[in-house]
Structure 1
Amino acid sequence: MSDPIDRLLDAAESGKSIIKNRDILHFTYIPNTIQHRNSEQEQVTQSLLPILKHSRPSNLLVYGKPGTGKTLVVKKVLNKIQERVEKSKFPIKLIYANSKEETTLYGLLVSFGRQLGMSDKELPGTGLAISEVFKRILNNIDESKINAIFVIDEIDYLAQLVSKTGKDILYQLTRANERLKQGSLTLVGISNDLTFKEKLDPRVISSLGEEEVVFTNYNVEQIKKILEERIDEAFIPNSVEDPALNLCAALAGGEHGDARRAIDLIRVAGEIAERQQSEKVSQDHVREASLKIEENKEETSLKSYPLHEKLVILAIMKAGGSSTGEIYSSYKGLCKIVGRDELTQRRITQMLSEIELSGIISGRLIHQGIHGRTKKYKLTISSEMIKKTFKDDLTLQDIV
């Protein structure tokens, strides 16, 4: 028998690979043709067109569930505008930031400033009031006579995290042009949450949603066509079996109409097939990939939490579908076991909202008649998954 390491290295050296271009299977790849999104591409382009005519576009809100092509379309339109901007003397800046990656309003605004070309001295990474950061950005736009389009991806995530100050800034961002004498600022928000507007201050709604584009879910047949195009470019010919392609499309289309999930599935299935030195990607590889993606997503999310968030998750696991008060009691008991001081109930309530955003727990409001209403939380993943993920954490071993 050959050494398993040598066998894999020999295969790699001999170029035996069914995936010829992995970049095409990455979510950041922008294809030349975005399938089934002609109407949406036209709407986003028409909305941002005034910038090429030296006018300020309206603020734009782009809606749709994850994997429906929103970011892809907006980025492609920005890239096409950028190509033409370089031939023009009109000072335009196209700026993109993802609020889930920045996690704070301060970080988001600093990212915006950096892309405008502001230095660390002009805009420190920490230490200023949010209102001062915003004021400096507007001054920079004014003095440089820049016409900026600021794209905030996953803006719904930002709206759930920001404080009252943050909500005021969100409002001010949408009305920035009233404070600008030279240059302009257009806000493009991309949201995964179709009910996002309902959670906003009415003042923000009227100024942010000057124009809106809604992306509907892909159906199974559309996802299949998107996959076929990616497979043709990314895999060597005839290396993905038709039943594997159909299963990928069915799994992603049947659940959410999510093209990104379908592309992730075929990529991971291809990697599994390569590791097993199979010549073709089969249905079994796709099933294995589906399990792996779900497990990895949940485990990565659970492992990333600090200790007190982990204790809150364990408190929910112990207490079942429980109210905030019951969870807090259970949490305090766990703090005693691990020898840590408990945080306040108010902070734990905030944590529950933050953890809910990740999808690991779900909460629903229960009306209790004259006693008002309370929110009850339950896990959306199995207790076994939590125990498996936390068992290596020395602090939690006595609990798990």
Structure 2
Amino acid sequence: MIEYPPKVTEKELVKAYLYLSSNTNKDISLLIERINENYEYWSEVKYKTIPSSFSHEMLWPCVKASRIRNRILVWDQYGINISITNQMQRICHELDMNFGGSWGNGSLIPEENKNQYLISSLMEEAISSSQMEGAATTRKVAKEMLRKKITPRDKSQQMIFNNYQTINFIVENKEKPLTEDMLLKIHRLMTDGTMENPEDAGRFRLNDDVVVEDGITHEVVHTPPSYTEIPNFVKHLCDFFNEERARIFIHPIIRGIIIHFMLAYMHPFTDGNGRTARALFYWYMLKQGYWLTEYLSISRIIARSKKTYEKTYLYVEADDNDIGYFVAYNLRVLELAFKDLQHYICRKTSRKKQADIFLRIGNINERQAEIIRMYYENPKEVITVKDVQIKFGVTPTTAKSDIVGLLNIGILSEISFNKVKKGYIKGNNFDELTSSLL
């Protein structure tokens, strides 16, 4: 559990407002600015070093007052509010430039590799989002299942398969408005074959038996609003999602994070709320033109700091439904996801340069050069035509043609798995043809 912040009385708030408006101490002003940069919670604020002329008893009321005077009510019914900070606006601006702006001309992602990168990122997002909800399998096994289109063998694999299918469905339908039917469709895709009661897939909960528990202590940390409020909530959610010219402007990225939070807050389904909430955020970002979202694995970053992610939900409820904690955390997640993508592209570009060396063998294409690089790094590699087809996003005919070309020059050799299925290993001429190039 978390420590609740001290209640700030109206008298203390007034005193804090007066202090902030008349304060000439730059150290105090800078301290409060730094606290608000990361939207720090009481458990961190109470340990801050302060000037001798100030007191800890005044610090928290001053932090609260600084946030309240910039407060926006974002969800009237449940009093969900936020103070938009300078740091939030700065991050949103940088993400605007990166997710839909200066990188939009393809300078970050090489055109010839876009499909390959996209498939990989969609897989990563599906795997990480499912693992956060208890899917117990390795990334290697999960990726092999998705690449080779193997039928899921257990609930964990089914969760990942469903998540992957759902993300692809969202990409194909990203321009459509959110409706109740679409929300139920997404939940059905996400949870098919994984629910304790199969009828609950694609259906709102019918009672108030759902609570959110601490994973270790099993203590109840959140009791969602009554199921009777779900119809009105869903209508409001769809309006908020589809709204184009709101009376009060909220940056689209922050609106997307609010959508993520609100679905998890309401918990309209018996299970799969977290996965569905993250899918809605993903959809909203694409709908708003943030095309680079398709190439990010946002859930992988969240999974690395899952405890912090879960705590931000608790901070919101503990501190007067101030969603700033959740927004600040998720903006940092997006920053890190973008950096991860940059590093991933750099690694892939470096590998491509290595693969391009093998083009000097002559009469081979870039895909074949990449296949050679794979065998150079892992001499015991075994691939099939289907592996090549999925890895490069090409037709079976093209994949077979690439393999045959490498067989003809002795780079690969064919082996039989059975009477029908063939595999390909490093060929007899591999070392001779590649040794002089490196």
Q: TM-score, normalised by structure 1?
A: 0.27
Q: Which one has the largest radius of gyration?
A: 2
Counting helix residues as a fraction of each chain, which structure ranks higher? 2
